[in-house]
Amino acid sequence: MPWEPDRYLQFADERLRPALDLLGRIPSRPARIVDLGCGAGNVTRLLAERWPDAELTGLDSSPEMLARASETLPNARFELAGVEHWDSEDSLDLLFSNAALHWIGQHESLFPRLLDMLSPGGILAVQMPGNFDAPSHRLIRELAASPAWSGKVGNGRMGAILDMAAYHRLLAPRSTRLSLWETTYWQALHGANPVLDWLRGTTLLPYVAPMDDASREAFLAELGTQLSEAYPTDESGTTLFPFRRIFIVAQR
């Protein structure tokens, strides 16, 4: 199942907050920037606005997302490629990635490789979700593994990250400056089942991709009931969805 830009952008403001926080921690004026996993281009636009004179490229493996990104920034350069197979021909000043690298495995080799693409003083700035043990993600895994669904769901890969100490071990010896931190965003969502809607834009895609329409709707209905119980709506119609994010800023 391809990515759906409209569904992903349903919570565009909430998804942008971590990117803005990460952007605020970059002190340099980079001349050559690559947005790794640029998606629909909403973060690429922020990079273009902050450094309008920079040479900026958006990289993503989804043609649907890149088509939307090209509409958002018609004068920008976009490249269809997976980060795991991509290499830069030139040294870069900033590699920026918002909520993308958790989809890619082998971080033990990926992160040092990305850092090596930077020019001296260049910055690797990364934000990734760190909530894989949250009720939302646990419920998805449990339902997908149940006898009723184990043979129908996709590969079920929701991404993964290392612990913070592992990123420190990987990057500190290669960095002149390294900052690691985490933030939990208490997102106030609205709608009939907003946590399900949020997850349908990203995490659930690999699970429901091979299903026919009837099976997909049945799976989502069952999961939606469980999510509504785990994340109840209050009297004002607000559903609080705590979401942990981790941040890495490494300067070569």
How far is it, in rounded angstroms, from Cα 9 to Cα 43? 12
Tens digits of residue pLDDT in 171-215: 999 999 999 999 999 999 999 899 999 998 888 988 998 899 999
- Domain with residue 27: its CATH number is 3.40.50.150
> Within 10 Å of residue 71's Cβ, how many Cβ atoms?
11
Residue type, 189: L
How far is it, in rounded angstroms, from Cα 145 to Cα 77? 41
pTM of the model: 0.89
Check residues 8 and 246 and name the one with the higher pLDDT.
246
27 Cβ contact partners less than 8 Å away, ≥ 6 residues apart: none
Task: List the end-to-end C-alpha distance of the chain, in Å, as a whole number.
Answer: 38
* Band of pLDDT at residue 3, cut at 50, 70 and 90: very low
Closest by CA position to 105, among listed 122, 121, 91, 85? 85
Q: Supply the pLDDT for residue 4.
A: 53
- Give the bridge partners for 22, in sequence order: none
* Band of pLDDT at residue 129, cut at 50, 70 and 90: very high
Q: Rounded to whole angstroms, what are the CA distances from 251 to 117, 168, 198?
A: 12, 13, 33
Q: Which domain holds residue 207?
A: 5-251
Tens digits of residue pLDDT in 39-72: 889 899 999 999 999 999 999 998 988 998 999 8
Q: Supply the pLDDT for residue 163.
A: 95
Closest by CA position to 182, among listed 243, 137, 132? 243
What mean pLDDT do residues 165-175 have?
A: 97
How far is it, in rounded angstroms, from Cα 222 to Cα 76? 42
Please tell me the total count of domains within the chain: 1
State whether residue 69 is helix, strand or coil: helix
Angle between helices 135-145 and 213-230 (to 10 degrees): 140
Q: Are 97 and 125 in contact (CB under 8 A)?
A: yes
Tens digits of residue pLDDT in 89-122: 889 999 999 999 998 989 999 999 999 999 999 9
What mean pLDDT do residues 140-165 have?
A: 89
Scanning the chain, the segments in alpha helix (DSSP H) are 5-8, 12-23, 42-50, 63-72, 107-116, 135-145, 164-171, 194-200, 205-208, 213-230
